[in-house]
Amino acid sequence: MGAVDIQGVRKSFGDVVALDGVELSVADGENVAILGPSGSGKSTLLRVIAGLEPADGGEILIDGAPQRDVPPHRRDVAIVFQHFALYPHLTARSNITLGLRHGLGLSKAEAESRAVELATRMQVEHLLDRKPREMSGGQRQRIALARALARRSGVVLLDEPLSGLDAQLHAVLRLEIASMLRAAGATGINVTHDQLDAMAMADRIAVIHNGRLEQVGTPDELYARPATLFVAGFIGSPP
């Protein structure tokens, strides 16, 4: 299960208003893209959902339960960071199993078996004994995805998971991520500044600008009926 309700979330850093009353309900199993330019508040929103950043106001609910007092490792949430955030001194296998053993409390055998299962699905099983520096960017991102999906969380948060990949790998992983989230039955919240990624991966797109959601709708709705000039410009449809 993984319905996410974002209710009136506000967050400022000094004078900078990063999130200005964000409201969004994501259904269990739905895949939503948060689309907006650099600095619009996308990463901050994911960090608030994951519990890595306290909100100044508002509430996050997961399956109806307020998350205010739930620490990050107790939330039914996995996050894939923009720049992989793998531990450089650990092998891929240990990167995947560490959180499973110490965060989720799985046995060594169960954690290892999940690492092999997910690495196999991501086609990086042969890299499990390598360290991050011995892998390409695309391989590291597959390990980071395997680590997130191995948690079997109801909610998977992805922060620009395709940035920095070459065009071919970008196109391949875009489809793989979307289909893996569906196969896992997980709710996906996928942050991107790339309208084509959002269009290709998401059931619905939420366009964010200066910490506010400008419009939420299906890719077709946003393209055919953009609510604001900003959305029209960003989606690329005529105003």
Binding residues vs Mg ion (CB under 5 A): 42-43
- In whole angstroms, what is the distance from residue 27 CA to residue 211 CA? 22
| Least separation in angstroms between CB 54 and ligand ADP | 12
Question: Is 54 near ligand ADP (CB under 6 A)?
Answer: no
Stretch that binds ligand ADP, among 2-10, 42-50, 137-145, 166-174 (CB under 6 A): 42-50
Amino acid identity of residue 209, one-letter, is: H
Which of 30/160 has CB closer to ligand ADP? 160
Stretch that binds ligand ADP, among 12-20, 94-102, 138-146, 217-225 (CB under 6 A): 12-20
Question: Is 43 near ligand ADP (CB under 6 A)?
Answer: yes
- In whole angstroms, what is the distance from residue 106 CA to residue 173 CA? 28
> Which of 3, 24, 32, 36 is in the footprint of ligand ADP by CB under 6 A?
36
The CA-atom distances, in angstroms, between 221 and each of 32, 172, 216, 218 are 14, 26, 9, 5
- In whole angstroms, what is the distance from residue 45 CA to residue 20 CA? 10
**Residue 161 interacts with which of ligand ADP, Mg ion, none, CB < 5 to 8 Å by class:** none
Query: Both tokens of residue 4?
Result: 């996410």
**Residue 16 interacts with which of ligand ADP, Mg ion, none, CB < 5 to 8 Å by class:** ligand ADP
Query: Both tokens of residue 208?
Result: 């964010």
> Which of 1, 8, 13, 196 is in the footprint of ligand ADP by CB under 6 A?
13
Query: Both tokens of residue 207?
Result: 């366009």
What per-residue string of b and e applies to 12-36 under the rule 16 or more CB within 10 Å gives b? eeeeebbbbebebebeebbbbbbbb
133: DSSP letter: G
How many residues lie near ligand ADP (CB under 6 A)? 11
Contact residues toward ligand ADP (CB under 6 A) are 13, 16, 18, 36, 38-44
